[in-house]
A and B are shown apart, each in its own frame.
Chain A
Amino acid sequence: MQTTRPSIGKYVCGMAASLLIFLAGGWLILAPFALGYQPYNASWVSQTTNDFVTGIPVAVVALIAFTLFFMSLIRSLAAAGVVVAQAKVQPQASVQYQPATAAPQAPAANQSDLDRTLATLAAALAADLTARRQGGSDQQNDQSQTILNRREVQ
């Protein structure tokens, strides 16, 4: 079954924000020396300490946020079938024949809600069609039985 088209805009939005804040964290670390409010060859003034203590965690946390958004993007692309997870290399002896129909069942856990609904709907329609066909064949059997009975009576 074909999966829904992934939208990457939301991930790009989060990643861009994280990247900008990462740069802001880097600037915070550099600022005391770039703007000159930290004298050379002197112990750090409180502004410098504050900027360092804030800037380093900001840069690290922004990097974590970027990684989280990036991982979400990769998961979304994998669920849509754009990116395929690398299969582990197995020894030649253990390779067995796999029917081609078994392959598309792998990303079942990643299927979107819409895909699951469509699958359920398709299954229900198939069951309905089968039931109708069986009903039709039963009716045909009944009709042929009636004709036979009439002939026997005659």
Chain B
Amino acid sequence: MSVGDALRRLIPPGSYVLFLLFLAGIWLAISPFVMTTQPSGSHWIASTVNNVTVGAVMMVVSLLGIMGYMLFALGELIREAEAKRAVVKQSEQLAE
């Protein structure tokens, strides 16, 4: 299996979309400060707390989704490679 095929199996189209949502989470977390809706030097207002919390949750969840898929797919690839190696070894023994 080529590196491209392996990468395609590790990163499906859904993971790219999750990465977009990760970027949206970053924007959401910093938006109160970028748009200056949060007054500087004062306690965070309700909208700032909400946006930062939801943004952080989105970042964490999307990263967990991407990494979780990648870990499962990596384990699957390793299992397949081991099975293939065992079959090749068995066929060599049969040929001898």
Complex contacts, A11 vs chain B, CB 8 Å: 69
Please classify the interface of chain A as helix (H, G, I), strand (E, B), loop, or mixed, using the class held by over half of its residues.
Answer: helix
- Give chain B's interface residues, CB within 8 Å of chain A: 1, 5, 12-15, 17-18, 20-21, 24, 27-28, 31-32, 35, 37, 45-47, 50-51, 54, 57-58, 61-62, 64-66, 68-69, 72-73, 75-76, 80, 83-84, 87-88, 91, 94-95
Complex contacts, B64 vs chain A, CB 8 Å: 13, 17
Question: Nearest B residue to A10 by beta-carbon distance?
Answer: B72
Q: B54 and A24: CB pair below 8 A? A: yes
Also in contact, A121 and B87, with CB within 8 A (given A18-B18, A24-B58):
yes
Please classify the interface of chain B as helix (H, G, I), strand (E, B), loop, or mixed, using the class held by over half of its residues.
Answer: helix
Q: Shortest 10 CB-CB distances between A and B: which pairs? A: A17-B65, A10-B72, A13-B68, A68-B14, A47-B47, A65-B17, A69-B14, A10-B69, A9-B72, A37-B47
Q: Give the residues from 27 to 76 in chain A that come closer than 8 angstroms, CB to CB, to chain B.
A: 27-28, 31-32, 35-37, 45-47, 50-51, 54, 57-58, 61-62, 64-65, 68-69, 72
